């Protein structure tokens, strides 16, 4: 006779199979009654024998775990955005760029782009280890308890899965489930949900996982990430993921040309309305994973993938007024305030008009009937004006000449699209905007301090720049609106903890124009501390990898300001990290300083990404293409013949993986 443990395991395996058949294959092999009977039997056995508890048992799907604050976790492999395309020409330009960087034939995997909430699932030894939201791509929220309630997410894999890997996908709410939820809400007199995407996203952040379990969410998966995955192509990886138990959409196709890609796009542009989920385009990926590795990433997106967006929904509405916003850099953005209108599932009230040139180009005026669409189905965009409905006494729009906040005369530099208010230290929105940027998640990430509180602190005269934050006391903060004792305590503690934020993020937080996250990392790695950056000349800055004239000018202009230098010195006095720590400097050398190195082929001792990191850590620059400026090529197996020919023609040396590792030893 089977032992209790064997009975429990047999029931778990049987229920997992039925779950997979029903929720992934949409092919039930057992009645609901029989499934529920087996589930109840398993629940009873587990209750009597808690020593055999398994967090990934089918009985754990009902939820019940309460999460007050979602833990922030760093993604082991960054989650990138996708570049968008809207025409055949865009796709052909993308293909041209690809073929300059890789050898051999290139084919593509085409997949539908589902409109849901992005998620990264990590599996170890076949079991779901964690589920993390996309967040800012570098880190997200741990929502494992909520994800476990979604029946199409396997808790235990089957087959020949790798020991550890991530799989990325979208949490979606099918139209049928969404409509049913809304019917129930209307019945009890509550406001219906606006659209499936936002409802799916909101569901993942519910604090009670039992509530999440009641929602008919599904998880559609499409991308394996990790080392030694045992697959050679994207198309093969989709098939493998299906075999392991994941719900991977069947609507995927291999294409050998951009014309075949467009056939897939055109087919689904018509038939997407028959799908059970929201979809807003097609994702095209280079199929060969080695070629994907060769192509690598830009600062924000993979070079080997692109999204083709279906034509956005358009509506017309009245433009009531044009107002002007001041950004943290002093840039002025004109805003169209619209008669509210429904568009792609949300109510649109405002749209950016970008700059004076755009207003002139559209000849847009207050009172006009305008055509609006959601660019990429996210950001409202004004396409044009219905001139047949324009009033006879309509007046052309005259762009403002003074700052709407401080009345300083606006300036527009040659070659710039936008007007700027140059009252850097006296214009309130600029001051508030810089401090809001300083405290943001990708920068100092100060807990307990939000944008509204920053505005309140500035307007109350408690702070005038971000260095003032470090002098705030609990007693000063408690009297503020909506600020209780505990909130004030959290705010002051959050400010103290921000002193541990590493240098490259502090550099980004300073808000130097054009110095984004990637540039901040490059500068931090090159100069190691703020003092060296502050005294660097234009020419020296331009010699740093990826630093051009505009960035160099902006950095030197920032440190030419006595007020900025005083603020930076105060941050230093308060103990904010303004140089790289000893830990960060471990392994950093100048051995490859001035070298421009191309990495190509398949490697065995270390991965391509580790090789690139070693080059950068030792002061070298990684280049994706061979040119006369290339110092040498680290060549692995299967390096493309055209790259070899180009290297020979330019007389550029090829060194092996082991020779390179010896070189930096």
Which residues are tagged catalytic? Answer: 113
- Distances in Å between the Cα of 229 and the Cα atoms of 127, 289, 318, 444, 601 are 16, 11, 54, 36, 18
3-state class of 292 per DSSP? helix
DSSP state of 399: P
How many angstroms separate the CA atoms of 224 and 247, rounded? 13
How many angstroms separate the CA atoms of 498 and 591, rounded? 33
How many angstroms separate the CA atoms of 417 and 360, rounded? 12
Q: Where are the alpha helices (DSSP H) in 478-548?
A: 485-497, 503-509, 517-527, 530-534, 538-542
Angle between helix axes 88-101 and 258-271 (nearest 10 degrees) is 140
C-alpha closest to that of 306 among 95, 79, 107, 609: 95
Greatest Cα pair distance, the chain, in angstroms, is 93
| 241, two tokens | 């993921």
Identify the H or E element spanning 477: helix 474-477
How many angstroms separate the CA atoms of 171 and 111, rounded? 16
| 200, two tokens | 């799916």
3-state class of 12 per DSSP? helix
What's the count of helices (H) and strands (E) in the chain, helices before strands? 25, 20
- Distances in Å between the Cα of 588 and the Cα atoms of 5, 256, 526, 564 are 53, 43, 10, 29
Contact between 531 and 545 (Cβ < 8 Å): no
What contacts 266, CB < 8 A, 6 or more positions away?
A: none
Give the CA count within 13 Å in the CB-facing half-sphere of 141. Answer: 17
- Distances in Å between the Cα of 212 and the Cα atoms of 34, 146, 149, 207 are 24, 6, 7, 9
Contact between 118 and 283 (Cβ < 8 Å): no
| 172, two tokens | 């979606």
The answer to whether the Cα torsion of 645, 646, 651, 654 is positive or negative is negative
| 262, two tokens | 């467009």
- Distances in Å between the Cα of 173 and the Cα atoms of 193, 220, 257, 491, 493 are 12, 10, 33, 36, 39
Q: Where are the alpha helices (DSSP H) in 206-355?
A: 209-213, 234-244, 258-271, 289-295
| 16, two tokens | 């997992």
């Amino acid at each position: 006779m089977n032992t209790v443990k064997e009975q429990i395991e047999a029931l778990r395996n049987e229920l997992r199979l039925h779950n997979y058949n029903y929720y992934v294959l949409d092919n039930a092999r057992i009645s609901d009654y029989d499934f529920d009977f087996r589930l109840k039997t398993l629940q009873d056995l587990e209750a009597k024998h808690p020593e055999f508890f398994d967090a990934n048992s089918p009985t754990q799907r009902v939820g019940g775990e309460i999460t007050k604050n979602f833990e922030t976790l760093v993604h082991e492999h960054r989650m990138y955005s996708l570049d968008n395309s809207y025409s055949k020409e865009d796709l052909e330009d993308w293909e041209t760029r690809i073929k300059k960087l890789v050898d051999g034939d290139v084919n593509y995997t085409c997949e539908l782009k589902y409109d849901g909430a992005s998620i990264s699932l990590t599996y170890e030894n076949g079991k779901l280890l964690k589920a993390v939201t996309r967040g800012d791509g570098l880190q997200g929220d741990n929502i494992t308890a909520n994800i476990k309630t979604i029946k199409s997410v396997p808790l235990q894999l089957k087959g020949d899965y790798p020991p550890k890997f991530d799989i990325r996908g979208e949490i979606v709410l099918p139209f049928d489930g969404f409509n049913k939820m809304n019917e129930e809400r209307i019945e009890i007199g509550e406001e219906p949900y606006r659209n499936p995407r936002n409802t799916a996203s909101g569901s993942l952040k519910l604090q009670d996982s039992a509530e999440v379990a009641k929602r008919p969410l599904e998880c559609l998966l499409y991308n394996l990430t990790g080392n030694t995955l045992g697959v050679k192509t994207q198309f093969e990886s989709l098939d493998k993921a299906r075999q392991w138990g994941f719900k991977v959409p069947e609507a995927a196709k291999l294409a050998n040309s951009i014309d075949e890609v467009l056939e897939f796009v055109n087919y689904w542009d018509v038939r997407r309305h028959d799908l059970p989920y929201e979809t807003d385009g097609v994702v095209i990926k280079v199929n060969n994973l080695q070629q994907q590795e060769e192509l690598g990433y830009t600062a924000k997106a993979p070079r080997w993938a692109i999204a083709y967006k279906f034509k956005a929904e358009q509506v017309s509405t009245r433009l009531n007024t044009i107002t002007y916003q001041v950004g943290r850099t002093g840039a002025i953005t004109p805003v169209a305030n619209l008669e509210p209108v429904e568009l792609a599932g949300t109510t649109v009230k405002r749209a950016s008009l970008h700059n004076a040139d755009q207003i002139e180009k559209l000849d847009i005026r207050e009172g006009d009937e305008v055509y609006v669409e959601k660019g990429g189905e996210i950001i409202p965009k004004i396409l044009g004006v219905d001139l047949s409905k324009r009033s006879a006494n309509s007046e052309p729009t005259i762009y403002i000449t003074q700052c709407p906040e401080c009345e300083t005369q606006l300036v527009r530099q040659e070659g710039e699209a936008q007007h700027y208010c140059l009252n850097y230290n006296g214009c309130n929105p600029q001051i508030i905007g810089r401090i809001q940027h300083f405290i943001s998640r990708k920068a100092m990430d100060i807990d307990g301090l939000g944008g509204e509180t920053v505005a309140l602190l500035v307007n109350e005269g408690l702070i005038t720049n971000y260095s003032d934050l470090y002098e705030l006391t609990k007693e000063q903060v408690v009297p503020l609106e909506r600020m209780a004792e505990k909130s004030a305590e959290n705010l002051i503690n959050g400010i103290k903890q921000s002193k541990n934020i590493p240098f490259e993020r502090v550099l980004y937080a300073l808000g130097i124009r054009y110095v984004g996250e990637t540039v901040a990392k490059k500068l931090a790695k090159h100069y190691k501390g703020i003092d060296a950056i502050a005294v660097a000349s234009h020419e020296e800055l331009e010699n740093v990898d990826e630093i051009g004239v505009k960035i160099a000018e902006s950095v030197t202009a920032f440190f030419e300001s006595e007020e900025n230098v005083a603020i930076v010195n105060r941050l230093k006095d308060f103990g904010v990290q303004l140089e790289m720590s000893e830990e960060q400097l471990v392994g950093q050398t100048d051995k490859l300083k001035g070298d421009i190195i191309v990495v190509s082929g398949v490697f065995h001792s270390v991965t391509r990404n580790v090789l690139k990191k070693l080059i950068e850590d030792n002061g070298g620059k990684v280049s994706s293409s061979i040119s006369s400026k290339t110092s040498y090529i680290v060549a692995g197996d299967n390096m493309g013949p055209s790259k070899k020919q180009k290297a020979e023609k330019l007389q550029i040396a090829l060194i092996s993986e082991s020779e390179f590792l010896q070189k930096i030893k």
